[in-house]
Structures are given as C-alpha cells and as structure tokens.
Amino acid sequence: MDAPPPTPPPWHSLSAADALARLESAADGLSADEVQRRAERFGPNRLAEAKQRGALRRFIDQFDNVLIYVLFAAAAVTALLEHWTDTGVIVGVTLINAVVGYVQEGRAERALAAVRKMLVTEALVLRGGRKETIDAAGLVPGDIVLLAPGDKVPADIRLLAARGLRIDEAVLTGESVPVEKSPAPAPDDAILAERASMAFASTLVVAGQAKGAVVATGAATELGRIGGLLAETAVLATPLMTKLAQFGRQLTFVILGGAALVFAVGVLAYKNAASEMFLATVGLAVAAIPEGLPAIVTIVLAIGVRRMARRHAVVRRLPAVETLGSVSVICTDKTGTLTRNELSVRAAVTAEGEYEFTGIGYAPEGAVARGGERLPAAPRDLAAMLRAAALCNDAVLRRRGGEWIVEGDPTEGALLAAAQRAGIDPLGEIQRAPRLDAIPFESEHRFMATLHRVPDGGTVAYLKGAPERIVAMCARLGGTGADAPLDAELWLAHARDLAAAGYRVLAIAEKRLDHVASDALLHGQVAADCTLLGLCGLIDPPRPEAIAAVAVCHAAGISVRMITGDHPETARAIARALGLPAENVLSGRALDALDDEALAARVPEVGVFARASPEHKLRIVGALKAKGHVVAMTGDGSNDAPALKRADIGIAMGRKGTEAAKEAAAMVLTDDNFASIAAAVQAGRVCFDNLRKTIAYILPTNGGEALVVIAAVLLGVVLPITPLQILWINLVTEVTLSLALAFEPGEKGVMARPPRRPDEPLLSRFLAWRIVFVSVLMAALAFAAFEWERTRGASLEVARTAAVNVIVACEAFYLINTRVLHGSTLTRAAWFGSRAALIAFLVLALVQAGFTYLPQAQAVFATAPLGLASWAVIIAAGAVLYAAVELEKAIMSRLAHDGPTP
C-alpha cells in the first residue's frame, strides 16, 4: 500500500469517504505493519530541529561590529603606549558586550523549540479496530484518532464523525470563540478559520466528541508551517543597531582620516620626525576614539530595561528598549491583547425590550442596565431567559488564584456570569430544577436542550442555540405575562442587528412537557411549539485600559492597526469601541487578491485586518515597513509568532501568550495589558533621548581633546596634554559624568511629540553643530589655560595639569547643559534635580584632586600641584563654556521659533 501523495489535497473540501480513500485507510484504523511502513516514510510527529550554530561561532560573531573594531583599535593604541590598565578596561568592555549579545542570541532557535513543545505527548487511536493510547510522536497519516473534551489535538485531522464538537482555535487562527466542527466538507477556497471539517494540531477540544483521520503530522501540519515561517523569517537589525553601525563607520573614517592628515602635515609641512609625529597621531587617536561609548550605550539600554520591567514589560533583547520608543505603527492582535480573551454577555433582547450588561470576564461582579439606567434587579422577562441559559449549560465557573475561570465552553461560562450579574444563582437553580436528560449541541441541528424537573412537579425543556434554528422551533414569545404569538421575522431581524454590531448571538427558549412518558428528552419533543425567551449578544470585550492606551498612542503620533482572525463585523465592533478607525476593514481573502505593491498602497487607509492568517500578518508588517514605518507587532498566539519576529519589535503577552509567541518576541508584557505598551513607549523614548544626550556629551568632549592635539601639531608647539593624560580624562569622565546621563528621568512632553523619522540619523545636523561648537570652545579654553600658565613662568607639568583640569571642568559644566538639549538649564531642577549627576560631580572632584596632588599620580601622569589662581581660571573656563552653550540654545531657539526637532 502506497503512502499518501507528497502534494496534499485540499482535505477540508473532500468528503469523509474520499479523504479515507485518498489516505488509503479505513474507519477501524491502520494495521501495525502499515503503521511501521508509514512511520519510516513520514518520520515522527514532531518538528525537526533547525541546525544551529556552534557556541564558539555564535560568540565570535558578537565581535563583527564596526564600533567593536574601533574599540580594538583603541586597545591597540593603549597597548602601544604600554598603558596596560586601559588596554584591559577596553578589552573588558568588548567582552562584556559580546557576552550580552551571546546570551540574547538564538531567538529563532528558541522560538522553534517552543513550537515543538506545543505538540502533545499522547493520543487515543484506533488501530486494527482496537483503541490504543500512544505517544503522539508515533502518529502517521491515515491513523484514526478519537477526540474528547479537554484533549489537545495531536495532528492535523480530517473529521469523519463528530457530535457537538467545538474546538478553541485561538492559538492558531486568533478566533475568539470556539469553532463548531462538522464532518461535512468545507468550500475548496475556505480560509483556515472556516475549515469546519478539520481539527488542527495544538488546538483544544472544549466540547463534544469526534473521530478523524490524520492527514498531516510534524512539519506538514499548520503548526509546523508556522515553524517554517519562523525559520524563514529573518531577524532584522533594529533602528538603533543600524544607526550605531552607520555612526561607527563614519566615526572610524573621520578618526583615521584625521590622524593620517595630521601625520602628513607634521612630517611634510613642518619637517617633524616621523617617530615624533607617530606619537602625536597616537595621542590624536586616543583623544578622538570614544572607547566608552558602547559600554555607555549598553548601560543606558539596561537602565531602560529596568524601567520597563517596573511597567510590566520584560525586555528580552536590549535594543528593543530604544526601538519601542521609535515605533510609528503598532500592529496588534485583538484576542487576548486588546480584549481579555474572555467572552461576556453584553446585550440581551426580550419581549420587554433591550438590556445592557456591565462586568469583566467571568467574574460575577457587574450589573444590568436598561436605556443606560442601572436596574436594582433583573425584570421577570430577563430573569426567565437567564435562568434558562444557566440551566441549559454544562460549564462551571470557579475562582482560582484570585481569578474566575471557566471549566467548559467559554460561551456557556459567559452565560453563567451574566446570570450571576442579574442576581441568579446557577447552583441554586440546578438544585431547584434538577436535570433529567439532555440533547447535546451538534452542528447538524445547532441547538442544545436540557430537561428539568421543576418545583411544581412538571418538567420543562430549556433550549439555546443559533437564532435562526431556535426561532424556527418557536410559536410563542414568552416574558410578556401572557405568551404572545411570535413574529419570527422581527426576531430574526433583532438577531441580525446584534450580529452586525459584532456580537455572537444565541437564542434562548423553553417548552413545558407535562406529559412525558419518561425522563428521556427526544428531538421530536422540542422540534416545534416552543416559547422564545429572548436573545443574548456575546462578545470578547475590549479591555477598558486598552481604550485609554490607544488614545495615548494616537496622541503620541503612533498609529494602531488591529490584525485578527475574527469575523470582519466582530473586528469592526471592537475597533469602534477602542477608538480605532473601523471604516475600512480588509479581510484575508481580499488581501490575498493584492500583490505586495498593491497592499503597500492600500495599507495606509486600513485600520482593521480580519480573518488574517500568519502569512497575512507577515505581509502586512512587510507592507508597513516598505512604507517607511517602524513597526511593533503584539500578539499571544502561535499564529502571531512569525510576525512578531519579522517586526522591528515583537511584543508578546506573558500570561496567556504561548511559549512560541514569547520566544519569538523581543519584549513580553507580564500583565497582558495593551496599556503597558504606552508606558513602555514612553520609557523607550526617554531611553533614546538619553542615548542622544550621551552622544551629544561624549563626542564634543572627545572632539575638544582631539582639537588640542591637532592645534598643537599645526602650530608646531608642544602638546598641551599628553596621550596618557587624555586616557585619564576619558577614563574618569566616562565612568562618572557620562554615566550620569543614563539615569536622566526624561523631559516634559516626551509623549506629545510624533515618532522620530526612521531615516533620521543618530547624529543630526543640530547635534553635529553642537559637537563642533563645543569641541572648538573646549579646545580653545584648554589651549588658552596652557599658554596662560606658560606665559607666567609655570613649568610644563603645571601648564599641562591646568589644561587637563580645564577640560574636566568644561565637561562637568557641559553636563548641565546636556541635561536639557534644547531648553534652558537656568533652573534649580537642571542643576540639582539629578542625584546621579551630583554624585558624579562629587566623585570627579575627589578623583581630580588626587590626580593633581597625590605624589603617586604625579609620578605616573607627570602632573604638578596647582595654586588658587589656577583653580580660579579653571572654574572660570567651565563657566564660560556653560554660558556660551546656553546663549547658543537661546539663539537657535529664537531662529527656529519652537526650537529644532530633537
């Protein structure tokens, strides 16, 4: 017997008999010999592990970065100077960065491993007519599998028979309610969420029983296809990493070019000895290379990670901190992200009118209102309907760990919660009217019915199901005191109105059976002459805090797009409630008709994408990125994992999210709260501001030191500061003053400005100007102090010591300037509002005192003690630089009215 063909047929559209024939199987299962043959051909029912790089290769790859090359150059320079301590520090920085990257590496491999873990370990099968419980890894195409409530589907299965089967497919399709399943063939072009004849691997059976034939195992399943998408989806560099790499290349070119030019001028123009000019060039390189910048960047990001953790956002990759602060579009899954993934009854229609329900999830807290006015108790008509819904019900609500959970069908759990909010005790009702029999829900007849003994000794059947089916079974309308004839068209119109508003609609009915021959309930007894009690509208409602968070994102210039597997009308209703643009909804089928160029043109006008598959989410993210957006993608299901990986930053839900989603994401929300994203965006923007402040601080100070060397070479005079002294300045200022900027709390209005343009360089024209302005001013002040000391007869050591302290003083004053890049710092907060800055000033003052006066330091760095006059000049130089920068801010602000764009 040959195995099924390699190219799979559309199993969902084949009849059950045709599917069995194509599989060359039988209703009583495969023989042991046939199972063995197929196992050898198809392999185990698990996802193959991707080939991974070795640990050493992964570690070596961490050094493939231009800024790391610059650090190695700095280490080589300090080694040439035999300054082994600084060489060790620089090498240590590179190793720390490499370890951080190594730990964060392998995200794709971990994501695939998480998907593999989702395959179940056991399955109940028929083989040779006998039931067996086997390891699910041993399933092969053609195996006959039996499913029951609570089972996780072990492979992709074509249903052969089903009774009341409903499967929760949210993990795969994003559908927020359990899907009714039937062996009847689905249309050939049915999308994944509408293939009712199929049960897919990793989805959960919530009700009913079924028998089906395995049609795909392991990597051939829909779950395996998602794993394949993860493997194919490249991890793109974040905006920060891209900008830092570009900046590193530019900086390297400038430093090497400047050093070569200085060497050539000194040797060719001034006829200096090559060895002497080599030492001067080394000093220039040491001055210009910001060897502490990568370490400072890492620290700034790490502080951002800590701040986000306090806002329930756990960052798994450091660059994600900054990336979140620069996003212009958030693509968010609906179920479990914007909503609670818990159905709730929100509307009801009875003979007396329409009612609204409040409350969250399955908790009994809440109320009933009519016309916006809260009711003290449920009216008789509503109470009758909810009592019937509570009795015709197989679910149980339990409180576990402070949360209310449903055991059974979520739809039935929502009905129980609604009954409790209306003051009805489901357990009490069951005791008052014990169940005698039941007709379980089946897709063929689309209703459930239960038979109960009521207190007066009679029996009553309660029914719930699809409105068109229940209405057809009813002749009267209940709840009016005296039952009235039923206007079927009117009630079907009510049901259509609720469905158009995005609700899942159930009809509730009853029928008194006073002359039943036994306690058994038969279909014929409730097929006609029932009494309609009303309609319930259920929806997975938006989180209240998500509504506020969407508003915050819009105020910050961030567009929010909903991508869901739900029905378009349901998605539209939730979008309206959230304040998202809901006029244009694009379905998965319509999206398939668009090529990538057409989709990119259509994306800006679409606020909601419905019936979206994993491939659709990947294309949507790609289209937005093609339009120049920085895209964040949120989600919680396995179906979200490829798009989470493809986006600039993936954000997974931590509590209800699947492991595949968490491993594919760069950030995990521990409270599953979309509102936490808004707080994390703010932290990300503050983080980038601090990175920019750090660059605006480090580069001018390094530039000032380099210009002192350049000026000395071009003027043909002795160096005012030695390379060893330059290393000292860089070392002490970067571990004190530069580090203080990493703790800045953020400026006002950080969430009132639009996102940064993705193409905006890390070093803007404004920052470039500021760097040149401060570098020139700092170099001039240091050179002036050096010459002033020399003209009044001071030794070379004293003059150089004064020049070093002028540079340090200028850097200290400039730190105050940098705390507010564009606004004035003539405030108490700017001077005394940062504890980190005050500590840095104190430590720096003590260290510089030791550098100047300790004999040991004098011996190493060739320094000398300074007098009060020298210190007065040093402090004055720092004050001059501070005043000049504040004046420059005022002039620039006036010229640009509102100031330059940060």
Partners of 460 in the β-ladder: 452, 512
CA 672 to CA 651: how far, in whole Å?
Answer: 10
Tell which residue, 401, 385, 318, has the closest CA to residue 353. Answer: 385
- 712, 719 Cβ separation under 8 angstroms: yes
The CA–CA distances, whole Å, from 638 to 84, 215, 617, 663 equal 51, 21, 12, 10
- 709, 719 Cβ separation under 8 angstroms: yes
- What's phi and psi for 521, nearest 5 deg? -110, 125
CA 92 to CA 94: how far, in whole Å?
Answer: 5
CA 732 to CA 701: how far, in whole Å?
Answer: 12
Give SS3 for 43.
coil
User: What single letter denotes the amino acid at residue 7?
Assistant: T
Report the b/e string of 682-720 with b at 16+ CB within 10 A: bbbbbbbbbbbbbbbbbbbbbbbbbbbbbbbbeeeeebb
- 125, 146 Cβ separation under 8 angstroms: yes
**Token pair for residue 603?**
């994306």
- What's phi and psi for 735, nearest 5 deg? -90, -5
Tell which residue, 708, 699, 796, has the closest CA to residue 283. Answer: 708
CA 529 to CA 526: how far, in whole Å?
Answer: 7
Tell which residue, 307, 383, 409, has the closest CA to residue 689. Answer: 307
| Nearby residues of 269 by Cβ (< 8 Å), 6 or more positions away | none
Q: Which residue has the tokens 């102090």?
A: 785
Cβ-based burial of 48 (10 A; exposed 0-12, middle 13-18, buried ≥19):
middle
CA 323 to CA 325: how far, in whole Å?
Answer: 5
**Three-state secondary structure of 738-799:** HHHHHHCCCCCCCCCCCCCCCCCCCCCHHHHHHHHHHHHHHHHHHHHHHHHHHHCCCCHHHH
Give SS3 for 485.
strand
Alpha-carbon 254 to chain mean position? 38
**Token pair for residue 42?**
């198809």
Cβ-based burial of 187 (10 A; exposed 0-12, middle 13-18, buried ≥19):
exposed
What torsion, rounded to 10 degrees, do the Cα atoms 798, 804, 808, 813 define? 70
Catalytic residue set = 333
- 631, 620 Cβ separation under 8 angstroms: no
Q: Which residue has the tokens 């004293």?
A: 798
Provide the pairing of β-strand 435-439 with 474-477: unpaired
- 408, 207 Cβ separation under 8 angstroms: yes
The CA–CA distances, whole Å, from 273 to 77, 263, 270, 708 equal 19, 10, 9, 20
Alpha-carbon 666 to chain mean position? 7
Give SS3 for 175.
coil
CA 594 to CA 377: how far, in whole Å?
Answer: 53
CA 522 to CA 385: how far, in whole Å?
Answer: 22
- 660, 648 Cβ separation under 8 angstroms: no
**Token pair for residue 141?**
């195409």
